Amino acid sequence: MNAFFHAHLGITDFWTFLIGTIFIVLLPGPNSMYVLSVAAQRGVRPAYQGACGIFVGDLVLMVLSACGVASLLKASPALFYAVKYIGAAYLGWIGLQMLIGCWRQLRAPQATGDVTPAPTAAKESNPFRKALVISLMNPKAILFFISFFIQFVDPAFATPALSFVGLGLTCQLLSFTYLTVIIFVGARLAAAFRRRRRLSAGMGGGVGALFIGFGAKLATATL
């Protein structure tokens, strides 16, 4: 089967790529954590809007990888450091905003009834736009597409664009499946979050802390 993908798509070792991608997709990262928090706090439709932002962001990273941005970043350390520190600062800022929103939610007067408002940071944001920027600044995605991703493209293949399309479709299909599971799991948790303010705030605060951790990870990333 590997010979088939190599001959027709220029993918050197498809099954190794597939297994590696599955494990990478399953690792917790900013994309999945953001979609989970949106699904739990706002429901399925806004979460899918966020998922679409992630798909577009990943597509941009794939195109940049195909255009040789990895080589450019390796050849220009100053550019690489600029990109990673800007991304790290943005992820850290999102995490801080989530923590502040959860703190305000805990300190707000208890509303009557069972409904607990969602944390402000997640409620006021546009899921598609925010997820798009998060995807473009995601350390896991950046390192995946500019290092791991390109290793499975045969440079001698006549149409390398076809290789990138095949790898890209595989990534997007796996990502869509995983995010769909996360969205519906998050939606099932939404009712519990609406009834319990501390649980909702704890969820948002935990995601915020993870984003700060993701920012720190990106700040220390190397090519």
Residue 132: pLDDT over 80: yes
pLDDT band with cut points at 50, 70 and 90 for residue 179: very high
Enumerate the domain spans of the chain: 2-219
Instruction: Tell me the Cα Rg of the chain.
Output: 19
Task: Give me the mean pLDDT over the 183-199 stretch.
Answer: 70
Distance CA 58, CA 183 (A): 18
Question: Per this entry, what is the length of the chain?
Answer: 223
Q: What is the pLDDT of residues 33-68, one digit of tens each?
A: 889 888 887 889 999 999 999 999 999 988 887 777
37-46, 109-118, 178-187: range with highest mean pLDDT? 178-187
Q: Which pLDDT band holds residue 112 (cuts at 50, 70, 90)?
A: very low
First to last CA, the chain: 31
CB burial of residue 165 (10 Å; 0-12, 13-18, 19+):
middle
Mean pLDDT rounded to a whole number for the chain: 76
CA-CA distances (angstroms) from residue 79 to 62, 76, 221?
18, 5, 14
pLDDT band at 116 (very low <50, low <70, confident <90, very high): very low
Residue 153 has what pLDDT?
80
- What's the pLDDT at 53? 95
Q: How confident is the model at residue 99 (pLDDT cuts 50, 70, 90)?
A: confident
